[in-house]
Structure 1
Amino acid sequence: DAQAAICMVRGHAAEWNISADKIGFLGFSAGGGVAIASTMSATQMERPNFLCTNFGPSLMPVTVPADAPPLLIMTSADHPNVAAGLVALFMEWKKAGANAEMHIYGDGTGPYELMPETGETTTESWSRQMLQWLKSKRFI
């Protein structure tokens, strides 16, 4: 379904007035696993141009091709299995020579908790960081 969705969006890009080469995939928690797995088995037409995973997946073995799309990972240290899995994923991305960036929030900061040092929730923080990342990669 994920790959079909990317194909559908790419196939209608001109009609929907979007760039066919700026289509991304964002997955939260278990949806991060769907985003990663579907991207790794995708054809060129099915593959997103960028990939973001937020607070998931946990440990998941993948073989990352050198032409893998840029990856942004956001997670929290208070879920050790998830954080460990995402650190491993990040390292696999880098080992393949693909572009990846990772942000790990400290202990006790779930996706909606207030961060006293900034006054933002982690959701506000990762949203801002993701927007900056998308701009730096020229996807927006």
Structure 2
Amino acid sequence: MNISKTRLLFRSSVNWIQSLRFSSENEPTKMEKTINQVTLLGRVGADPQKRGSQDHPVVIFSLATHTNYKYESGDLMQRTDWHRVCVFKPSLRDTVYQYLTKGQRVYVTGKLTYGEIKDESGTTRTTTAIVADDVIFFQTNRS
């Protein structure tokens, strides 16, 4: 048996023993703290849409952010990334749906989520979205 397999078996054994220790009825389960936080500042790509069901409504909108960079030749370029933002909080959801418009600049904080969607043909696609905790509106100065 080589050293890497021995280390892997040792780590697996240690993890198994630790899981037994933390699953004891007398000891409280310790939860590790993690961070999943996203902050975006950009422009809304289209007017928000209502989705979901009566029991589980959601408002969705797209948000564009830009990255500027320069080639060695001196040419300036701008790359646009599109983000799907979902709003579930009732009061925030209603405000976003009523007042947010295409082209408006907004500041979004939330968390990154991943999922899967099956389309009509049965093909599974992965999705990425930001679940908004807060959306701050900026005044539009565009005519």
Q: TM-score range by the shorter chain?
A: under 0.3
Q: Which has the larger radius of gyration?
A: 2
Name whichever structure is richer in strand by fraction. 2
Q: Which has the higher helix share?
A: 1
If the length of structure 1 is used for normalisation, what is the TM-score? 0.23
Instruction: Answer 1 or 2: higher relative contact order, Cα 8 Å, separation at least 6.
Output: 2
